[in-house]
Amino acid sequence: MTVTSRAANSSVPPITVNAKMNKDTNSFPSPMIIYAQVLQGYVPIIGASVTAFIESNSGKTQVLELLDNGAGADSYKDDGVYSRYFTAYEENGIYSLKVQAYGGTNTAMRSLKHPLNTAACLSGWVVNGKIEENLPSPENGEDTQTFLESFSRTASGGAFVVSQVPQLPLPDQFPPSQITDLDATSEGNQINLTWTAPGDNFDVGKGKDEFQQYIIRISRSIMDLRDNFDDALQVNTTNLLPKEANSKETFAFKPGNISEENATHIFIAIQSVDKSNLISKVSNIAHVALFIPQADPSPDESQPNPGVNISTLMLSVVGYLVVVSIILSTTIYILKKKKMQVDQGLGFNMINKIKGYL
């Protein structure tokens, strides 16, 4: 029996799914990444439910939900490329990949005039260390999201080989994934953070049950935070309880030790630690500007009181006049005294001359 499928409308581009791994061969404990690209023509489809089935040589199957959230293994949000780390190795040998994509009421076809994160406009995927280019996307004059009818697609991602897998149970050698979507906003002197929770093993695993803590550090220098993260000021995260992997985390705090400036620029980064004390890479660095109003100056620090100035001026004038009066009085007294001495001297001289004549 031969089955042939045809498009319901020849003028509407078909919905396609392409699946692949980032490598054809791998060895433990290096992780692998699953990619599935869902398109209608050249336009990415967002909001689809995409599931990967990885089957080992012995028939054991691992099921993973692929995500297009811009976190973990996914580089860009809503670009039609759904991704996830694969670390659940159970044996050496050949593994096969199959991907199923479903679309429903929440599935949309994204149409952008100037695509920012569209998969078809990226340079390509990295496969076995080489870039496989995507086809160029034609420019579209609209900036809309068109909701689609339900659809179902299945695609094979081929096979890959894994070696050097130790005997079960496997040691925990996979840290949480790097947080790449840390965002910060300010509200008064409070900083609000949001990010996507990683998993225990990269973006896989129940972070809520297997996480130990988040490490949040701040600095006024982006270079110091990047190069000397462990030396930056650490924020108290005692009340921050990790959520399930791939859920949205929120946290608010008021930074201390801020210099009294009108505007203070704060840079923030975060790490996550699992129960095996494996630490993720430092996240992207978020930035926020806190505007701190300066306190009103006290009366002593404010501009001088005009009344105080007048009083001081009057006292100064009076004091000056008193000093001048004293100086004048003293001068007159001295001059009068000298004159009297001169007059007395002249009188004695005249008397002596008269006595001489007599």
Q: What is the pLDDT of residue 228?
A: 96
Parse the chain into domains and list their residue ranges.
Answer: 15-163, 183-291
Burial class (CB in 10 A: 0-12, 13-18, 19+), 75: middle
pLDDT range class, residue 9, cuts 50, 70, 90: confident
Mean pLDDT, residues 112-117 taken together = 48
Q: Which CATH architecture has domain 183-291?
A: Sandwich (2.60)
Percent of the chain clearing pLDDT 70 (strictly above): 68
Q: What is the pLDDT of residue 30?
A: 94
Q: What is the DSSP string of 116-152?
A: SS-GGGSS-EEETTEEEPPPPPPP-S--EEEEPPPEE
* Whether residue 234 has pLDDT greater than 50: yes
Q: Regarding the domain delimited by 15-163, which CATH topology (the fold level of the hierarchy) does it fall under?
A: Immunoglobulin-like (2.60.40)
Query: pLDDT tens-digit profile of 163-202?
Result: 999 998 888 889 999 999 999 999 988 999 999 999 988 9
Q: Which residue has the higher pLDDT, 75 or 132?
A: 75
* Whether residue 116 has pLDDT greater than 50: no
Question: Quick one: residue 231, left, alpha or beta (phi over 0 = left, psi -120 to 50 = alpha)?
Answer: alpha
Q: What is the pLDDT of residue 304?
A: 53
Q: Could you tell me which residues are beta bridge partners of residue 224?
A: none
Does the fold of domain 183-291 match that of domain 15-163? Answer: yes
Largest CA distance in the chain: 178
pTM: 0.70
pLDDT range class, residue 148, cuts 50, 70, 90: confident
Q: What is the pLDDT of residue 325?
A: 72
